[in-house]
C-alpha cells in the first residue's frame, strides 16, 4: 500500500508578473491514501495542484507518476494519466442536466447512462441525472463533478477547498464518500485550511507556507496546535511605530448580523461587534470565510437579512451607500478594479466617485465644476504622492499602487469618521504597502475608527488594536494581537473557538464535527 | 507631466479616428469593386456622389445633405446616450414614429398659431420618451433585454402610427398621407427652394445639450460611470437603475424630437406618408451615425453630415452614372460591418506591426 504514486520534485513556479508562488516544493502522495494539503492564502496549495493536473506548467521541477516522469501540456493529458481536479468554482453548465454535464466532451459511444448508474451504485454517490444543474444545491453539483472525474477513470482525485460552500451535513456526506473512494483504491488529495477537517479525513498531511513545504506528518501523529503553528509560523515582521490607542465612543456597531453570499447561503452568521473611534479593529481569517460579504453588508452594497448596522448612532441597516457616505463612512474596497475605480474614466472623474454630489463640486445647473474637481484631484495626487500623467489621464494609465493610492486618497479626502478598509495593500509593492499602513495608523491617531479586513495576517497583527479571527461566517474570538500566540491564531483560522483553546482543554479534532 | 497626459489622450483619440477612417475607406473600396463588377465606373460614380452632396457652386446640394443629416443626428444621440449607460437601445425608430404621431396630434387641434410648434415639440418628445421608457422599465425592473424589447416596440409603434394615419388623422384630400402641420407650426426653411429647415439648427442645439449633459452634468457623470463599470457606480452611491431609466428617457426625447422635426420641418408634405415611408429607417441610420461618431455627440455631428451626404449624393450617382440608389446602402452596410468589428481592424494592425518587428 505504500507505493508512491505521485512524486513532485523541487517544483518552482514563477508567474509571468514575477510573483513567486512555489519556491522548490517536494511533494509525495502514496497510492490509496487521502492526503491533506494544508496552508493559508497564498501558500501555493492551489498552484501546486494546478501544476499536477496540467493546468499550469512549472517554471522548473519534475513530476513522476507511478515512477514514470511526465510533463503535462494540458489538463486532458493529466486526465489520461488518471489525474483530475475538482475546483472550488465548479465547471458545470447550469442549463444542462447532470447527465449531460457528466458526458460533456466525451465521444458519443463512451456516453453510457447505464455505466454512470452503475458507478453511482458502486460508490454511493447519488445524483438526479435528469435534473438541471442550476436547480441543484451546491453539494450535489460537487458530487456531479466527482462522478464526472470518476467516469473518466481518474485514479488521483484532487479536491480544492471542497467544503467551502457545503453545509455541515453535506460535508459529512462528502467525507463519507471520500473514505468510500479510498476503499476502492482511489488516491485523494484534499486541499484545505480547515484543521478539523484535515485531521478527520486524511491519512497524511503536507503543510505549505509561502511556497515552501514546512511540514509533513502522519495524521495520526498530528495535533491541531502543531499544524496551526506550521501553517501560520511568522517570518520576520516589519515593525511599524504605533502610539497606544485612545479609543473613544463606539461609532460602528454591528448587532447579530446575518448576510447571504451570491449562492444564497449564509456567509455571515450572527456577528456582533463594535468599532470605537481612535482604534483599528482588524478581522483576520482565510479568505472566503464571509469577510467580503460582511464588508459589503456594512457598506450598503449587500442586503442584510437579519440584524443591525449602527453608524454614528444611527440605524443604517440596508441603507444606500450614498446615505452612509453622508454620515461619514469611507470604504476602501477589496477590489479596486471592480469597485473602487472606473478605469476608463479620468483621474479627476475617479477622484469624486461617491462624493460627486457634494455641494462644492456642483454648479447651479447641477453641472460639475471641473475646475474645482481638477484642483481636488491635484490635491490628492500631491498629498498622497501619486505618480500620474495628469488629472485628465484615464485611471487605467496608473500603476496598481498608484491606483490604490488614488482610491485611498479619495476615501480619506472625505474626512470620514469610520473607515472600512478591505485588503487595502493587496498586490502592492513594499513602499506603497508601508505608506498605506502608516496612513491608516495616522487616521486612527486622529480619532477615526478603522475596520481593517485583511487576509494578510502580518497586516492585521501590525495595525490592529483589537482583532478578531473569522471562520465560516463567525468570529472564533476577539482579542488584542499581543495576547495571541501564532499557535492560537492558527487554531482560530483553522476553525477552533478561542474559548475552547484558552479553557486549557486540548481541542478534540474529529470528535466535535 | 502635462505633456505625457496630453499624449496619452491624443494617442487614444487618434486611434479611434483612424479606426473609423479605415472603416469608411474599406466601405468605399468594397462598394467600388461591387460597382465595377456590375459594369459601372466606380470613380465616376464617386465623383458624381461628391458633386451632388458637397457641390461648391450650387448650395442646393449642400442644403440637401444637411437636411438629411438633421434627423439622424438626433436618433444617433438616442443610441449614443444608451451606449454611454451600457445599453444597446435600438428603439429610436419606434420612438421617432411616436414623436411624429405626437406632432400630427397637435396639428389636428385648433390652436392659436404660435402654439403649434412648441406644443408639437413638447408632446412629440414626451411620446418618444414614454415609448423609450417602456423598454427602460422592462429592462430595469423585469430584466428584459433592451435589444429584444426595443425591436418589438419599434413594430408596435409602426402599426399604431400606421393605424392612426389611416383611421384617425387621414388627409381628406390625399389618401396617401395624414393631415399636414398647419403653416404656422412649421419650422422655417433656411435656404429657399431646398428642404433645409430650421430642424438642422434644432438638432445641433440638442446635440449640444446632450454633450453638456454627458460631460458637464452630474447625471451624465452617473450615466457614464454606470455604463463603464456598474459595480463601481453602485459603490459610488449611484443608483444604476435610475441612470438607465434616464438614459432611455433622454434617448426617447431625442428620437421623438426627430419625429417632430420630420413633420414640422420637411417640405413638401409636412405629414406622415403611406407606410411611414418618410420616416422609415431614420432611427436605424442613427445607429450608423452614432457608431461612426464614436458614440460621442461631437463626433455625431460630422458623422451625420457624412451619412446625409451619402443619401443626397446617391441621387447624383444614379442620375450621372446609372448606379442604383441602393448601392449607397451597401456602402453604409459595409462601413458598419467594418466598424462593428474593430477587433478585426486591431488584429490586422497588430499583424502588420508584428511583421514590422520581425523585419527589424
Q: Tell me the pLDDT tens digit for each residue of A102-112.
A: 998 887 766 78
What would the CATH number be for the domain defined by A4-222?
3.40.50.300
Answer whether A338 sits within 8 Å of B232, measured CB to CB. Answer: yes
Partner B contacted by A307 (CB < 8 A): no
When pLDDT is cut at 50, 70 and 90, the band that residue B179 belongs to is: very high
Please indicate whether, in this complex, the C-beta atoms of B237 and A389 are within 8 angstroms of each other: no
Distance CA(B287)–CA(B151), nearest Å, equals: 13
| pLDDT score for B69 | 96
Contact B228 A357 (CB under 8 A): no
**Which tens digit of pLDDT belongs to each residue from B333-344?**
887 787 766 655
Q: Do A357 and B237 touch (CB under 8 A)?
A: yes
Cross-chain residue pair A320–B239, CB shorter than 8 Å? yes
Give backbone dihedrals phi and psi of B344, rounded to 5 degrees, phi first. Answer: -65, -45
Nearest CA-CA distance, residue A393 and chain B, Å? 6
> In which domain, by residue range, is B277 found?
41-322
SS3 A467: strand
Q: Please give the pLDDT value at position B340.
A: 66
B213 - beta bridge partners?
Answer: none
In a domain, B197, yes or no: yes
Q: What is the mean pLDDT of residues B66-76?
A: 96
Q: Per residue in B45-57, pLDDT tens?
A: 899 989 888 887 8
Distances (CA, A) of B315 to A254, A334, B280: 72, 60, 18
Give the minimum alpha-carbon distance from A337 to chain B in angstroms, rounded to a whole number. 8
When CB atoms are compared, the residue of B8, B221, B239 closest to A356 is B221
B55-64, B140-149, B196-205: the lowest-pLDDT one: B55-64
Cell numbers standing for residue A27:
511533494
Mean pLDDT, chain B, rounded, equals 90
> What is the pLDDT at residue B325?
82
Going by DSSP bridges, is the β-strand pair A314-315/A306-311 parallel, antiparallel, or unpaired? antiparallel
Residue in the structure block whose three cell numbers are 511526465: A70
In this structure, the strands spanning A83-86 and A466-471 are: unpaired
Q: Give the best residue of A390, A392, A402 to mutate against chain B (max B CB count within 10 A).
A: A390
Q: Is residue B327 part of a domain?
A: no
Residue A470 near residue A290, CB atoms below 8 Å: yes
CA–CA distances in Å: residue B348 to residues B19, B334, B351: 11, 17, 5
Q: How far is A387 from chain B (nearest CA, A)?
A: 10
Distance from CA of A327 to the nearest CA of B (A): 13
CA dist A277 and A444 (Å) reads: 8
A385 Cβ under 8 Å from any chain B Cβ = no
Specify the pLDDT at position B355.
Answer: 47
Is residue A345 within 8 angstroms of chain B, CB to CB? yes
Nearest C-alpha in B relative to A389:
B5
- The strand ranges marked E within A142-300 are 156-160, 187-192, 204-209, 212-218, 250-260, 266-276, 280-284
Mutation site, B85, B236, B242, B294, interface A, largest A CB count within 10 A:
B236
CB–CB contact B221 A370 (8 Å): no
How far is it, in rounded angstroms, from Cα A451 to Cα A77?
Answer: 47
Inter-chain residue contact B8 with A389, CB threshold 8 Å? yes
pLDDT at B360 over 80: no
Judged by CB atoms closer than 8 Å, whether chains meet at A390 and B5 is answered as yes
At B244-261, the pLDDT tens digits run: 999 999 999 999 999 999
A399 at interface of B, judged by CB pairs closer than 8 A: no
* B4, B221, B237: residue with CB nearest A325: B237
Nearest-angstrom CA–CA distance, A334 and A255? 23
Interface A–B counts its CB contacts (< 8 A) at 85
**A333: which chain B residues are within 8 Å (Cβ-Cβ)?**
235
Chain A nearest-CA distance from B253, in A, is: 19
Q: Does a structural domain hold residue B297?
A: yes
Residue B324: pLDDT band with limits 50, 70, 90: confident
Helix, strand or coil, per DSSP, at residue B319: helix
Question: Could you give the dihedral angle defined by the CA atoms of residues B268, B273, B279 and B281, in that order, rounded to the nearest 10 degrees?
Answer: -120
Residue spans of the domains in chain A: they are 4-222, 245-328+416-513, 335-415
Single out the residue of A439, A77, A79, A461 nearest to residue A235, CA to CA. A461
Contact B1 A322 (CB under 8 A): no
Give the per-residue pLDDT at A513.
Answer: 37
Instruction: Tell me whether residues A393 and B217 touch, CB distance under 8 A.
Output: no
Question: Judging by beta carbons within 10 Å of its beta carbon (0-12, 13-18, 19+), is residue B347 exposed, middle or buried?
Answer: exposed
Position B350 in a domain: no
What value does the mean pLDDT take over residues B84-95? Answer: 95
The DSSP element (H or E) to which A470 belongs, if any, is strand A466-471
Nearest residue on chain B to A365, alpha-carbon basis: B217
Task: Measure in Å the smallest separation between the Cα of B238 and chain A Cα atoms.
Answer: 7
To test the contact with chain B by mutation, choose from A342, A344, A351, A385 the residue with the greatest count of B C-beta atoms within 10 A, namely A342
Q: Which residues of chain A have a pLDDT value below 70?
A: 1-2, 109-110, 234-239, 502-513
CB A193 within 8 A of CB A286: yes
Each residue of B272-284: pLDDT tens digit?
999 899 999 999 9
Counted domains in chain B: 1
* Domain CATH for B284: 1.10.3470
Confidence band for B348, pLDDT divided at 50, 70 and 90:
low
- Residue B17: predicted pLDDT: 86
Strand-pair category, A280-284 with A449-453: parallel
Fold of A245-328+416-513: Rossmann fold (3.40.50)
Q: Mutate which of B83, B217, B232, B238 to disrupt the A interface (most A C-beta within 10 Å)?
A: B232
State the pLDDT at residue B143. 92
Question: Cβ of A389 and B5 within 8 Å?
Answer: yes
Which pLDDT does position A389 carry in this prediction?
85
Q: Give DSSP secondary structure letters for B29-81.
A: HHHHHHHHHTT--HHHHHHHHHHHHH-SS-HHHHHHHHHHHHHHHHHHHHHHH
Residue A205's DSSP bridge partners are A36, A217
Choose, out of B229, B239, B242, the residue to mutate when testing the contact with A (most A CBs < 10 Å). Answer: B229
**Interface TM-score (ipTM) > 0.95:** no
Close Cβ partners of B70 (under 8 Å, ≥ 6 residues apart): B197, B199, B200, B202, B203, B258, B261, B265, B304, B308
> Which percentage of chain B shows pLDDT scores above 90?
66
Amino acid at each position: 500500500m505504500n507505493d508512491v504514486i505521485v512524486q513532485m520534485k523541487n517544483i518552482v513556479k514563477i508567474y509571468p508578473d514575477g510573483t513567486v508562488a512555489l519556491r522548490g516544493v517536494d511533494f509525495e502522495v502514496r497510492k490509496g491514501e487521502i492526503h491533506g494539503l494544508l496552508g493559508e492564502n497564498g501558500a501555493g496549495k492551489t498552484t501546486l495542484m494546478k501544476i499536477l493536473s496540467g493546468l499550469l506548467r512549472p517554471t522548473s521541477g519534475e513530476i513522476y507518476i507511478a515512477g514514470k516522469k511526465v510533463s503535462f501540456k494540458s489538463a486532458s493529458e493529466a486526465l489520461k494519466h488518471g489525474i483530475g481536479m475538482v475546483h472550488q468554482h465548479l465547471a458545470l453548465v447550469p442549463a444542462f442536466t447532470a447527465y449531460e454535464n457528466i458526458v460533456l466532451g466525451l465521444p458519443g459511444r463512451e456516453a453510457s447512462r447505464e455505466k454512470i448508474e452503475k458507478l453511482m451504485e458502486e460508490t454511493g454517490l447519488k445524483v438526479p441525472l435528469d435534473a438541471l444543474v442550476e436547480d441543484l444545491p451546491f453539494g450535489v453539483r460537487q458530487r456531479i463533478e466527482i462522478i464526472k472525474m470518476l467516469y473518466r477513470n481518474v485514479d488521483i482525485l484532487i479536491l480544492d477547498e471542497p467544503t467551502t460552500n457545503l453545509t455541515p451535513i453535506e460535508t459529512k456526506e462528502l467525507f463519507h464518500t471520500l473514505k468510500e473512494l479510498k476503499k476502492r483504491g482511489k488516491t485523494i488529495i484534499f486541499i484545505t485550511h480547515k484543521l478539523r477537517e484535515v485531521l478527520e479525513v486524511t491519512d497524511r498531511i503536507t503543510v505549505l507556507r509561502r511556497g515552501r513545504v514546512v511540514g509533513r506528518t502522519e495524521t495520526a501523529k498530528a495535533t491541531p496546535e502543531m499544524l496551526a503553528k506550521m501553517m501560520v509560523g511568522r517570518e520576520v515582521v516589519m515593525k511599524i511605530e504605533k502610539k497606544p490607542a485612545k479609543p473613544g465612543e463606539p461609532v460602528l456597531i454591528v448587532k447579530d448580523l446575518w448576510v447571504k453570499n451570491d449562492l444564497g447561503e449564509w456567509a455571515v452568521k450572527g456577528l456582533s461587534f463594535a468599532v470605537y473611534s481612535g482604534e483599528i479593529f482588524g478581522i483576520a481569517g482565510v479568505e472566503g470565510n464571509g469577510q467580503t460579504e460582511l464588508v459589503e453588508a456594512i457598506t450598503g452594497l449587500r442586503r442584510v437579512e437579519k440584524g443591525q448596522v449602527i453608524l454614528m448612532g444611527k440605524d443604517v441597516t440596508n441603507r444606500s451607500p450614498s446615505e452612509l457616505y453622508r454620515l461619514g463612512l469611507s470604504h476602501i474596497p477589496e477590489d479596486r478594479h471592480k469597485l473602487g475605480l472606473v478605469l476608463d474614466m479620468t483621474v479627476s472623474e475617479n477622484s469624486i466617485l461617491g462624493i460627486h454630489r457634494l455641494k462644492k463640486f456642483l454648479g447651479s445647473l447641477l453641472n460639475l465644476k471641473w475646475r474645482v474637481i481638477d484642483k481636488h484631484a491635484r490635491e490628492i495626487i500631491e498629498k498622497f504622492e501619486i505618480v500620474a500623467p495628469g488629472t485628465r489621464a484615464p485611471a487605467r494609465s496608473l500603476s496598481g499602487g498608484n491606483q490604490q493610492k488614488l482610491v485611498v486618497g479619495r476615501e480619506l479626502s472625505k474626512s470620514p469618521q469610520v473607515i472600512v478598509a478591505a485588503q487595502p495593500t493587496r498586490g502592492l509593492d513594499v513602499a506603497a504597502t508601508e505608506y498605506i499602513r502608516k496612513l491608516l495608523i495616522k487616521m486612527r491617531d486622529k480619532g477615526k475608527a478603522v475596520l481593517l479586513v485583511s487576509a494578510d495576517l502580518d497586516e492585521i497583527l501590525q495595525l490592529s488594536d483589537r482583532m478578531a479571527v473569522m471562520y465560516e461566517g463567525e468570529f472564533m474570538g476577539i482579542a488584542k494581537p499581543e495576547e495571541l500566540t501564532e499557535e492560537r491564531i492558527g487554531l482560530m483560522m483553522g476553525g477552533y473557538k478561542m474559548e475552547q483553546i484558552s479553557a486549557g482543554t486540548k481541542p478534540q479534532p474529529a470528535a466535535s464535527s | 507631466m502635462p505633456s505625457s497626459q496630453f499624449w496619452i489622450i491624443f494617442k487614444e483619440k487618434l486611434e479611434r479616428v483612424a479606426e473609423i477612417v479605415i472603416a469608411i475607406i474599406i466601405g468605399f473600396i468594397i462598394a467600388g469593386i461591387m460597382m465595377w463588377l456590375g459594369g459601372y465606373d466606380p470613380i465616376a460614380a464617386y465623383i458624381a456622389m461628391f458633386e451632388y452632396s458637397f457641390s461648391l457652386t450650387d448650395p442646393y446640394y449642400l442644403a440637401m445633405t444637411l437636411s438629411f443629416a438633421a434627423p439622424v443626428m438626433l436618433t444617433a444621440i438616442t443610441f449614443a446616450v444608451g451606449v454611454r449607460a451600457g445599453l444597446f437601445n435600438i428603439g429610436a425608430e419606434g420612438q421617432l414614429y411616436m414623436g411624429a404621431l405626437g406632432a400630427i396630434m397637435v396639428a389636428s387641434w385648433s390652436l392659436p398659431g404660435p402654439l403649434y410648434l412648441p406644443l408639437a415639440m413638447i408632446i412629440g418628445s414626451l411620446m418618444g420618451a414614454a415609448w423609450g421608457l417602456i423598454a427602460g422599465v422592462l429592462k430595469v425592473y423585469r430584466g428584459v433585454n433592451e435589444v429584444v424589447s426595443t425591436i418589438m416596440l419599434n413594430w408596435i409603434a409602426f402599426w399604431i402610427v400606421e393605424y392612426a394615419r389611416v383611421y384617425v388623422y387621414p388627409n381628406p384630400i390625399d389618401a396617401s398621407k395624414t393631415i399636414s402641420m398647419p403653416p404656422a407650426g412649421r419650422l422655417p426653411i433656411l435656404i429657399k427652394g431646398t428642404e433645409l429647415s430650421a430642424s438642422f439648427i434644432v438638432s445641433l442645439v440638442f446635440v449640444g445639450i446632450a454633450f453638456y449633459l454627458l460631460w458637464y452634468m452630474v447625471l451624465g457623470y452617473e450615466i457614464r460611470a454606470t455604463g463603464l463599470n456598474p459595480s463601481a457606480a453602485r459603490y459610488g452611491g449611484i443608483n444604476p437603475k435610475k441612470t438607465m431609466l434616464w438614459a432611455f428617457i433622454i434617448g426617447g426625447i431625442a428620437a421623438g424630437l426627430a419625429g417632430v422635426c420630420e413633420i414640422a420641418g420637411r417640405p413638401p408634405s409636412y405629414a406622415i406618408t403611406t407606410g411611414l415611408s418618410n420616416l422609415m429607417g431614420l432611427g436605424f441610420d442613427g445607429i450608423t451615425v452614432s457608431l461612426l461618431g464614436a458614440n460621442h455627440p461631437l463626433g455625431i455631428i460630422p458623422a451625420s453630415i457624412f451619412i446625409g451626404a451619402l443619401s443626397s449624393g446617391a441621387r447624383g450617382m444614379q442620375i450621372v452614372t446609372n448606379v442604383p440608389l441602393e448601392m449607397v446602402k451597401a456602402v453604409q452596410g459595409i462601413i458598419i460591418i467594418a466598424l462593428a468589428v474593430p477587433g478585426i481592424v486591431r488584429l490586422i494592425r497588430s499583424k502588420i506591426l508584428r511583421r514590422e518587428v520581425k523585419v527589424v
